[in-house]
Structures are given as structure tokens and as C-alpha cells.
A = this chain, B = another copy of it.
């Protein structure tokens, strides 16, 4: 570790081992950035990864309450609200009150949303393929298995 330009003292020898470029968090952030970049190129700039996650989840399993949908797509209540609002504005999604629970708002794909999602599915598969392209086949499974343990 080099000495900081404005440091009067020498860094602790015990911490010489810390190298930002070798920390998982930093490397993971870069890998995620590359993935998002690939996503934007292939899927088009009009849909974000989180918006796609919501569409794909609704397509796979049908409607659910907004907060549950957020949990299923790894977003907290505040975040999922914004995502749903933007999908609502594009009429890819529709909402209705839950007759069984006055607190809940059921979110589901609109018919247009179903078509839209189905058309994008092949592209979404391509995103994963391109993201994993630098890895050998067996490495891809390894990476995914390891990442799953870090959730």
C-alpha cells in the first residue's frame, strides 16, 4: 500500500494488507455494473432490470400483493412502489384491491404486459448468456451456486 499524499504518518503495518481492488464488494459492484450495461444494450433503455424482474415474476406466478411482489423481486416496500408506479404508467401492469385484505393492493400483468413480457423473454435469456460468456460452462454453475450462498 502506497503512502497517502497528505499523510504525515506511515499507515499501520497491520493494515497494509487491505487492497480495495481485491475486496468482494468492490469486484461484485463492477460485475453488476457490467451486467446492467449488457442488460440495457439487449433489452433496450426503456426497461430496467428491476422492472423486468417484476414483469418476469408476474408472468411466472401471476399477481400478488405489492409488498409480497417486492419481496419476491428483492425490493423493499418503498422501491417496489416506484417500480410498480412506472409500470402502471406504461399500462404493462394493473392493480386492484384485495377483497380479502383491505390493506393489500394486488398487482398483475395487463394483457399488454403479458404480450410485452413474452416477447422479451428470449432477449432476457440472451442477457444471461452474454453476461456469463467469459466463463466456461462449469464455471457458470459454480458462480451461481456461490452467489446463492451469499444472499
Contact = CB atoms under 8 A, between A and B. Distances in A.
A121 to B, nearest CB: 4
A40 B110 CA distance: 38
A24 to B, nearest CB: 5
Contact of A53 (B26, B94, B134): B26
B144 A57 contact: no
Secondary structure type dominating chain A contacts: helix
A24 B151 contact: no
A5 interface: yes
Contacts of A125: 15, 17-18
A87 interface: no
A80 interface: no
23 contacts: A2-B60, A5-B62, A5-B108, A7-B111, A11-B118, A12-B118, A12-B121, A17-B125, A18-B121, A23-B124, A23-B127, A24-B147, A25-B49, A25-B128, A27-B148, A27-B151, A28-B28, A28-B32, A29-B49, A32-B32, A34-B151, A131-B150, A134-B150
